[in-house]
Structure formats: structure tokens, C-alpha cells
Amino acid sequence: MHNESPMGDSGVNIPELLARVEHDRELLGELLEIFQEEFPVLRGQLSSAIDRSDMPEIKVAAHTLKGMLASLSFYTASACAMQIERIASRGETKGLPEELARLESAAHLAGRRLASVCQGVTD
């Protein structure tokens, strides 16, 4: 038995996000713009911290990303950020680059899905 997830393959819960912004596509577009500006900066900070094995900075950057992504209902990407935060909290480095790659992929996919919704292509 297969139940269709409200997130589909994108990892973003569009019905929840639309409800959160009271179906205001203009506001949704503004949130998308903020995401497109802020995500690369935060991802860069996280990537740099991972390269340096700077555990405190990894935890801060991952925590910040986790909150931003969750506020956009980007649950798959947010879960990746949470996993990075957990790994760093244990003082480990193994698995961080792979989890960062998963986070980047999930955020990209969710961002594309959100952009299509903002353009009125779906939902």
C-alpha cells in the first residue's frame, strides 16, 4: 500500500507551507528570494567549517540551516541539517561531507519545487 506524501519527491510540504502563509503567493515569493540569497551563504559557512573540522561552527551553521529549512517546510533538507548537527555534537567528522551533499541536493530540489509553486505552475 502506497500513500502519497504531501511532500512528494521534493521533500517540501507545499500544502503546509501555503497554509502557513495563508496562500499568499507574493509572500511565498519573498520567502523564496530570501532562501535563494541566504542558503548559499549558510551552506558555504557550513562547508568551510566542515573542511576545517570546526565542530562549534558546524553545529551553529547546521542549527541555523535546520531552522531556516524547517520554516519553509523543507523537511528532507532540514533533517539533513539536523543530522549534521548531531554528528558534530558527538565530535565526529565521519559522514559530514556526505550529509552535506544530501542537504545540498534536498535543498535544491525543494527550492525548485517552491519556485514552481510561486510561478503558479502547480497547487
pLDDT tens-digit readout, 60-106: 999 999 999 999 999 999 999 999 999 999 999 999 999 999 999 99
Q: Are the beta carbons of 97 and 67 closer than 8 angstroms?
A: no
pTM score, two decimals? 0.88
Assigned domain for 2 exists: no
- Give me 121's grid cell: 505552475
Number of domains making up the chain: 1
CATH number of the domain residue 112 falls in: 1.20.120
Q: Is the dihedral of CA 46, 99, 63, 68 positive or negative?
A: positive
Assigned domain for 89 exists: yes
